[in-house]
Amino acid sequence: MLRLIAASLPAARRADRLEEWLADLEGSRELGLSRRTVVLGALRLGLTENRVARLRPRTWLVGGAAALGIIVLGVPTVAIGGTIVDSARGVVTVERSADGTEQTVSWRDYPGVGGADPAEALTGPTAEEGVRLGEAITAEIRAALDLDWTEEDGGQVYFPAENRYGGLSMLVTVNTPAWLSATAPQDAERAMDVVRGILDSHGFTAPVLVHNDAKTTSGLAAGPAGQWVSFTWSSASVVVSYGANALLPAADRAEFERRLAPFLTYAQPAPLAS
């Protein structure tokens, strides 16, 4: 299981993380800790470290479209405009009007996440609704597969998200506790069909499956507004978890709209590399 989780990490971190987890697994008994806590901890860290990678394809798509917008559409009120990146100011849009006046907008203060449509944060589920949805979906999957399940020990559910322009977003990343089964379904294909049906009923895509080796499969299903359900399926167990990359806490809606408004005039610059 640890090797499987490590395989999903960026290559630069894979070997170190795996060795650390294996040493922790070996030493867990010495500290009176369960081996399960190490596995679930690794799973949580794997999900955390993969969040950016999961955003990447969509980010490039939206970022590319935004860049195209700058070139093709322009911004009618701006006589000469441009996006500048420098180490002192970060990402800024400089607007020069016909009369020569200049206004600078710093994207470090952007309340959304670069590369993502901010409208999704307002029309999609709130962070709290996301957590409830994640709990509902994983509950449905657990009930349908009828296995003996254990929930990962409680911990942090909401994580701060960076705005990808050098600042902190008002949106949060959600990772609900993972569920681990004591056994695996006898009929894996039928069970996978059941999971597909549940995910489809909630507007999630069919899981993209990665066969890590002969015995283990990882899957990731994408939902609306950057939500996802991840699972790892082996001959011994199933691990299911829910997360979302950038959801807005309900209480922050008005402030988010207030801080977002000045940026809506401008095309989103390409996010900084992450």
Partner 1 sequence: MQPLQRVTAPTVEVLRALLDAGDPVWGLRLVKATGRPAGSVYPILSRLEESGWLVGHWEDDTTRDGPRRRLYRFTADGAPAAREVVAAFEARRAPAGYWSPVIPGGAT
Q: Are 58 and 254 in contact (CB under 8 A)?
A: no
Give me Rg for the CA atoms of the chain: 21
Q: Closer to partner 1 at the Cβ: 33 or 139?
A: 33
Q: Closer to partner 1 at the Cβ: 55 or 66?
A: 55
Minimum distance, C-beta of residue 99 to partner 1, in the bound complex (Å): 38
Minimum distance, C-beta of residue 27 to partner 1, in the bound complex (Å): 6
What would you measure as the largest C-alpha separation in the chain, in angstroms?
A: 74
Q: What is the dihedral of CA 178, 182, 183, 184, to 10 degrees?
A: 0
Q: Closer to partner 1 at the Cβ: 117 or 152?
A: 152
Rounded distance, CA 84 to CA 91, Å? Answer: 6
Minimum distance, C-beta of residue 181 to partner 1, in the bound complex (Å): 17
Minimum distance, C-beta of residue 156 to partner 1, in the bound complex (Å): 6
Q: Closer to partner 1 at the Cβ: 155 or 203?
A: 155
Residue by residue, what is the 3-state secondary structure of 99-153?
A: CCCEEEEEHHHCCCCCCCCHHHHHHCCEHHHHHHHHHHHHHHHHHHHCCCEEECC
Tell me which residues touch partner 1 (CB under 8 A).
16, 19-20, 22-24, 26-28, 31-33, 37-38, 40-45, 48-49, 152-156, 159-160, 162, 168, 177-178
Minimum distance, C-beta of residue 38 to partner 1, in the bound complex (Å): 6
Query: Which of 113, 71, 160 has the alpha carbon at shortest distance from 263?
Result: 113
Q: Closer to partner 1 at the Cβ: 77 or 150?
A: 150
Helix (H, G, I), strand (E, B) or coil at 236: coil
Q: Closer to partner 1 at the Cβ: 23 or 143?
A: 23
Q: Closer to partner 1 at the Cβ: 10 or 64?
A: 10
Minimum distance, C-beta of residue 16 to partner 1, in the bound complex (Å): 8
DSSP state of 266: S
Minimum distance, C-beta of residue 120 to partner 1, in the bound complex (Å): 22
Query: Which of 250, 249, 230, 248 has the alpha carbon at shortest distance from 240?
Result: 230
Residue found by looking up tokens 């449905």 in the block: 140
Q: How far is CA 101 from CA 78, 104, 106, 119, 197, in A?
A: 11, 10, 17, 30, 57
